[in-house]
């Protein structure tokens, strides 16, 4: 009852809400005209004049006409009511429809947002969303002068799981890992995300001490410890974990994740476990803070320059190839040699992108030179990071295909140190790369501690005697013995011997006598940009034509 009263009241107010309706005006006008016509007719019938006074008299003499005067008002009221009903009916429909539309739109928007932010496989936040959340946390931390910790973890041996059990099982493992990690971070306030493949990230705000990161890493190892069953086989999971702290190791989300990633790679190279970024940002050198961000921009904006240094086959007196050596044309600091940014790029976890840039440019140059008739090889330096990346061989294959360069043209130079530091893991990638037909060169040979048994198994094509031995080989008997011994060792293992750092003619003469295969050094040619190399090649051809050396055909025999 109370409800029907209320309904009635709301109905009445709705009749007048929104002002006088046009239906009320029409009804009023029609009824008024009808009353007027009736009054005129009555006046004419009774012989009254058709003046306002006559019409008034007709009205007052006829009670029916007087009663009819109420009709326009009744009609107006009806019109108002009809209009309100009519419009409220359509109104009633419209909001319902609009609400439906809105709900659907809101739901679709929410779904799109979710898809944008979420990793489809695990349902965790994806890398982009993680970086955004981290940015927000860093802004707050900057204002509150608090610290933020980031953990990057990468499963150990996950590529083997994929290889042995198939991608579907790999996905199952990743889902299980995601669930376990969610459990580990539950109630800690940490943000968890899947960054890529088998790598996950964690952000912890208001970090009270670095010990919190260590504890979290231990917790992660604990939840991963119970074996995971796949096809009735139980699989032991472990992860390498890296940690970085704002503002000690980086000041932006990207740098922080990269720093933690670098620490993780370092931990992996050392056999797994947890590692915090070792080097704090030097507070006094504000420029260093932004170097990793700048280097990222340098990669994206092509500030890097690839120099090429000739490699000469001294036995055949031919140009064998070139070594690609990167430089950075920094907008403010000028021309930077690799020693000034490669170690930093390694720490910031940028080597993957940098190596990819170098490879791309090196192959692009090689393809161009090939078209001009110079079918020579190209050697590219790779850091440990790339070798630990199971996807690297695929990257290589894609780039070779893109530039249509035969794989045997490419030599990958890996320092002896890198190869020896994590033999099991590097062996995997090196083998895959070598199986593709790409040559492997052991760079800076003699500076590390090679195990001959490992060296024997390594599918390498050449050893590159370190410059330090070549420099003094004519003055120091010990260095000469090392150079001679290395050439012989290389040949005994079926490898090409390469010597670098040749600055004088007599060094090259001696190396040829010793049976060295390839030499490289300032004496023959410094590292130079591609256009200078073209001039250098033309000059070389001119001087060696008399000896009938066909650079075009046989220079790349191996
Ligand atoms: P590296 O691989 O041992 O390269 C040879 C270095 O010796 C080059 O220095 C080259 O300019 C220099 N060199 C060549 N001939 C002579 C010579 O006759 N005398 C003297 N004094 N030096 C000579 P650069 O270009 O400064 O490179 C230094 C190191 O930076 C390289 O050593 C390599 O380890 C690293 N690097 C350069 N480019 C790359 C790259 O694209 N990726 C990676 N991962 N490392 C790179
Ligand atoms: Ca090298
Ligand atoms: Ca070297």
| The residue count for the chain | 558
Q: Is 197 helix (H, G, I), strand (E, B) or coil?
A: coil
CB atoms closer than 10 angstroms to residue 510: 19
Q: What DSSP element (H or E) covers 150? A: strand 148-155
Q: Which domains does the chain have, with CATH numbers?
A: 2-93 (no CATH), 124-277 (3.30.70.270), 293-549 (3.20.20.450)
**What's the pTM value of the predicted model, to 2 decimals?**
0.56
Residue 383 Cβ < 6 Å to ligand 1? yes
pLDDT score of 4: 45
Note whether 235 and 227 are within 8 A (CB). yes
Ligand 1 pocket mutation, candidates 500, 508, 521, 526, criterion most atoms within 8 A of CB: 500
* CA–CA distance, 412 with 441 (Å, rounded to integer): 6
* CA–CA distance, 520 with 498 (Å, rounded to integer): 8
Q: In whole angstroms, what separates CA 167 from the centre of its chain?
A: 22
Cα dihedral sign, 43-48-49-55: negative
**Residue located nearest, by CA, to atom 11 of ligand 1:** 527
Distance of CA 320 from the midpoint of ligand 2 (Å)? 15
Q: Is 11 helix (H, G, I), strand (E, B) or coil?
A: helix
Note whether 262 and 299 are within 8 A (CB). no
pLDDT tens for the chain, residues 1 to 558: 444 454 444 454 444 454 566 767 777 777 778 778 878 888 888 887 888 888 788 778 877 777 778 777 777 777 666 555 444 444 444 444 455 677 888 888 888 888 888 999 999 999 999 999 999 999 898 888 889 999 999 999 888 888 888 889 999 999 999 999 999 999 888 999 999 999 999 999 999 999 999 999 999 999 999 988 877 778 888 999 999 999 989 888 888 999 999 999 999 988 889 999 987 665 444 455 567 778 888 988 889 999 999 999 999 999 999 999 999 998 888 899 998 888 878 777 788 889 999 999 999 999 999 999 999 999 999 987 777 777 889 999 999 999 999 999 999 999 988 887 777 778 888 999 999 999 999 999 988 777 788 888 899 999 999 999 999 999 999 999 999 999 999 999 999 999 999 999 999 999 999 999 999 999 999 999 999 999 999 999 998 865 544 444 444 433
pLDDT score of 3: 42
Note whether 396 and 363 are within 8 A (CB). no
* CA–CA distance, 79 with 280 (Å, rounded to integer): 81
**Cis omega (within 30 of 0) on the bond before 247?**
yes
Atom of ligand 1 nearest to the CA of 527: 11
pLDDT score of 546: 54
pLDDT score of 14: 46
Cα distances (Å, whole numbers) of residue 12 to 17, 18, 82, 249, 254: 9, 12, 12, 70, 63
Residue 349 Cβ < 6 Å to ligand 1? no
Distance of CA 325 from the midpoint of ligand 1 (Å)? 6
Pairing type for strands 518-520 and 496-500 reads: parallel
Distance of CA 204 from the midpoint of ligand 1 (Å)? 40
**Residue located nearest, by CA, to atom 43 of ligand 1:** 381
Using alpha carbons only, how large is the chain's radius of gyration in Å?
41
Q: What DSSP element (H or E) covers 486? A: helix 477-492
Task: Single out the residue of 300, 528, 334, 324 nearest to residue 441, CA to CA.
Answer: 324
Distance of CA 415 from the midpoint of ligand 2 (Å)? 8
Cα dihedral sign, 45-50-51-56: positive
Cα dihedral sign, 456-458-463-468: negative
Task: Single out the residue of 533, 243, 236 nearest to residue 369, CA to CA.
Answer: 533
* CA–CA distance, 266 with 388 (Å, rounded to integer): 10
Ligand 1 pocket mutation, candidates 295, 381, 399, 507, criterion most atoms within 8 A of CB: 381
pLDDT score of 479: 95
């Amino acid at each position: 009852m109370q409800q029907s009263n209320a309904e009635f009241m709301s109905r009445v107010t709705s009749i007048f809400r929104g002002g006088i309706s046009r239906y009320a005006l029409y009804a009023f006008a029609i009824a008024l005209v009808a009353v007027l016509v009736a009054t005129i007719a009555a006046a004419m019938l009774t012989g009254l004049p058709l003046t306002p006074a006559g019409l008034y008299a007709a009205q007052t003499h006829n009670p029916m006409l007087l009663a009819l005067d109420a009709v326009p008002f009744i009609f107006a009221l009806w019109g108002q009511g009809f209009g309100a009903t009519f419009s409220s009916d359509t109104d009633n429909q419209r909001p319902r429809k609009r609400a439906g539309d809105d709900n659907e739109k809101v739901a679709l928007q929410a779904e799109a947002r979710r898809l944008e932010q979420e990793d489809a496989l695990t349902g965790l936040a994806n890398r982009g969303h993680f970086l955004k959340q981290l940015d927000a946390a860093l802004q707050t931390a900057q204002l509150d002068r608090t610290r933020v910790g980031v953990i990057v973890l990468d499963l150990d041996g996950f590529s083997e799981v994929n290889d042995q059990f198939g991608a579907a099982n790999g996905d199952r493992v990743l889902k299980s890992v995601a669930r376990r990690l969610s459990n580990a971070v539950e109630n800690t306030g940490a943000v968890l995300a899947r960054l890529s493949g088998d790598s996950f990230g964690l952000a912890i705000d208001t970090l009270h001490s670095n010990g919190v990161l260590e504890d979290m890493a231990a917790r992660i190892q604990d939840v991963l410890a119970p074996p995971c069953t796949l096809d009735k086989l139980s699989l032991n999971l472990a992860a390498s974990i890296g940690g970085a702290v704002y503002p000690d190791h980086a000041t932006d989300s990207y740098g922080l994740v990269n720093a933690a990633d670098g620490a993780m790679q370092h931990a992996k190279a050392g056999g797994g476990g947890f590692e915090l970024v070792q080097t704090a940002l030097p507070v006094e050198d504000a420029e260093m803070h932004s170097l990793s961000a700048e280097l990222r921009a340098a990669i994206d904006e092509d500030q890097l320059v690839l120099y090429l240094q000739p490699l000469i086959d001294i036995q055949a007196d031919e140009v064998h190839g070139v070594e690609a050596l990167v430089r950075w044309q920094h907008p403010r600091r000028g021309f930077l040699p690799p020693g000034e940014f490669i170690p930093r790029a390694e720490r910031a976890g940028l080597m993957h992108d940098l190596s990819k840039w170098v490879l791309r440019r090196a192959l692009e140059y090689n393809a161009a030179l090939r078209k001009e008739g110079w079918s020579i090889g190209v050697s590219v330096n790779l850091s440990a990071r790339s070798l630990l990346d199971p996807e690297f061989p695929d990257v290589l294959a894609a780039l070779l295909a893109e530039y249509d360069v035969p794989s045997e043209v490419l030599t990958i130079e890996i320092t002896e140190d890198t190869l020896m530091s994590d033999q099991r893991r590097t062996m995997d990638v090196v083998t895959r790369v070598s199986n593709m037909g790409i040559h492997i060169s052991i760079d800076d040979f003699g500076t590390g501690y090679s195990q001959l048994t490992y060296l024997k198994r390594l599918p390498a094509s050449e050893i590159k005697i370190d410059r330090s031995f070549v420099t003094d080989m004519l003055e120091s008997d010990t260095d000469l013995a090392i150079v001679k011994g290395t050439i012989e060792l290389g040949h005994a293992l079926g490898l090409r011997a390469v010597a670098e750092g040749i600055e004088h003619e007599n060094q090259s003469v001696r190396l040829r006598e010793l049976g060295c295969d390839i030499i490289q050094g300032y004496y023959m040619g410094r590292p130079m940009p591609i256009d200078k190399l073209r001039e250098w090649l033309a000059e070389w051809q001119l001087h060696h034509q008399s000896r009938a050396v066909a650079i075009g055909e046989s220079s790349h025999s191996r």
